[in-house]
Chains A and B, each alone.
Chain A
């Protein structure tokens, strides 16, 4: 009898170690929910405050602006986006660390490092590419590029964490590609890709693994 329970315990340990050493599982669904909320808030601010109730559907409106006004607009949108990004990163770090503490798992492990590297390669490439777009005044392509590179990063990192991340990545890629065909609707795609998708993903993950 004793043998049997110890065999079962052995199998449990094997499974646990295999999973923990090959996948980064301290990502919390709450991170997704908060990232989504920040993104939506950012989009609302951009729409009502920066883009004056959305009348600036890029082209038509921006033609009537002076270069100085356009530059100001770009800087405001950039600041808005960067604040959302920082808040989202902050939230995911906070909730990951909290989840790691709760479940007694280390957060900085070989697998979390590998996941981060895989995430960062497409992300940094995308970041540099977007800086180039910005400098060259190709601002309309920024939203499609953001979504596309972010999606690629998630697909790449998905091998080392929850498989749901992989599917979220596919959806972001799809949203990004679609938005490349509707450049005037960038802000809606941004709100959908970074806002709605993150919230849905976060709710699913929270319900599935953390309740």
Chain B
């Protein structure tokens, strides 16, 4: 019973390591841009974009697009919902490791 409730706290959204990475970065940085993620997580453009999109659609991160000169600059922020869900996920991971 207990284990089941823990596992339900493990969000499916964070199944991917890249999404985990994105959320980890945004937990400790007020904002982060696309190229920053690319460098920190060493992922390709397409891969990164699709994961960012998924997190955005779930309402876990916010996107702000603007132009710096002529170059587009996309910055990402974590939403309150994102913080809550990620913390829950972390807690569940820790409990699972301790409990078994």
Chain A residues proximal to chain B, CB less than 8 Å: 3-4, 7-8, 10-11, 13-14, 17-18, 20-22, 106, 108-111
Contact = CB atoms under 8 A, between A and B. Distances in A.
- For A3, A7, A109, which residue has the most chain B Cβ atoms within 10 angstroms? A7
A143 B39 CA distance: 40
A18 B24 contact: yes
B39 A18 contact: no
A20 B97 contact: no
Given A7-B93, A13-B20, A21 B28 contact: yes
B36 A14 contact: no
B93 A10 contact: yes
B40 A18 contact: no
Given A10-B17, A14-B20, A21-B32, A109 B40 contact: yes
Contact of B29 (A3, A4, A21, A106): A21
User: Interface residues of A: mostly helix, strand, loop or mixed?
Assistant: helix
Contact of A17 (B14, B25, B96): B25
19 contacts: A4-B97, A10-B93, A13-B21, A13-B24, A14-B20, A14-B21, A17-B24, A17-B25, A17-B41, A18-B25, A18-B28, A21-B24, A21-B40, A106-B40, A110-B29, A110-B32, A110-B36, A110-B39, A110-B40
Contacts, number: 57
Interface in B81-100: 90, 93-94, 96-97, 100
Given A13-B17, A109-B39, 11 more contacts: A3-B96, A11-B90, A11-B94, A11-B97, A17-B20, A17-B40, A18-B25, A18-B27, A22-B28, A110-B29, A110-B39
Contacts of B50: none
Contacts of B24: 13-14, 17-18, 21
Contacts of A22: 28-29
Interface in B18-77: 20-21, 24-25, 27-29, 32-33, 36, 39-41
Nearest to A109: B39
Interface of B: 14, 17, 20-21, 24-25, 27-29, 32-33, 36, 39-41, 90, 93-94, 96-97, 100
A21 B27 CA distance: 10
Contacts of A10: 14, 17, 20, 93
A7 B97 contact: yes
Given A109-B39, A110-B36, A21 B17 contact: no
A18 B97 CA distance: 20
Q: Which 4 A-B pairs have the closest CB atoms?
A: A17-B24, A110-B36, A22-B28, A21-B25
Nearest to B26: A21
Nearest to A20: B40
Given A13-B20, A18-B27, A4 B96 contact: yes
